[in-house]
Amino acid sequence: MKRMKNASVMAVLAVCLVVTFGLIGCAGKGAPEKTNCDAKIKWEVATEAKLTQFDCSMGKHDGQPALIFTVGVENPTDTPLRYRVNIFLEDMGKAAGHLVPRTGKPPLVKPGEAQTVKIPFIGTEQESKKILVVVQTISE
């Protein structure tokens, strides 16, 4: 009986560890090395992109208060690419996005290069505590 109880406890612990490490792995996939945002962030970043920067700050945009995200995207592939960055403030019901690069002829990030963009949430007067970041490649 005691041996069966120990086996059950070990099985439960093993399942808990697998689930915990699985969730940590999924939540951090594509995340930059560091960020100054004090929020729970879920990352959905294409394998053809690498985030080099993700910072948030309160400031002004066009004279209005704004939560401003600074996002750096690097192209780790050997093909020029264009990206779409979307940020969802899930606890506030707001979303914004940006193309990287926004302009150019053609508008592409060269292999090994990175570009930084600012994405403002105009009229937002506080930082979000629950954020979803989606980075995708797009074709012209």
Residue 20 has pLDDT above 60, yes or no: no
Is the separation of the CB atoms in 90 and 130 below 8 Å?
yes
Average model confidence (pLDDT) across the chain: 84
Between 3.40.50, 3.30.450, 2.60.40, 2.30.30, what CATH number should domain 31-138 receive? Answer: 2.60.40
* Domain extents in the chain: 31-138
Taking alpha carbons only, the member of 116, 112, 103, 29 closest to residue 73 is 116
pLDDT, tens digit, 9 for 90 and up, residues 54-108: 999 999 999 999 999 999 999 999 999 999 999 999 999 999 999 999 998 999 9
Is the separation of the CB atoms in 50 and 73 below 8 Å?
yes
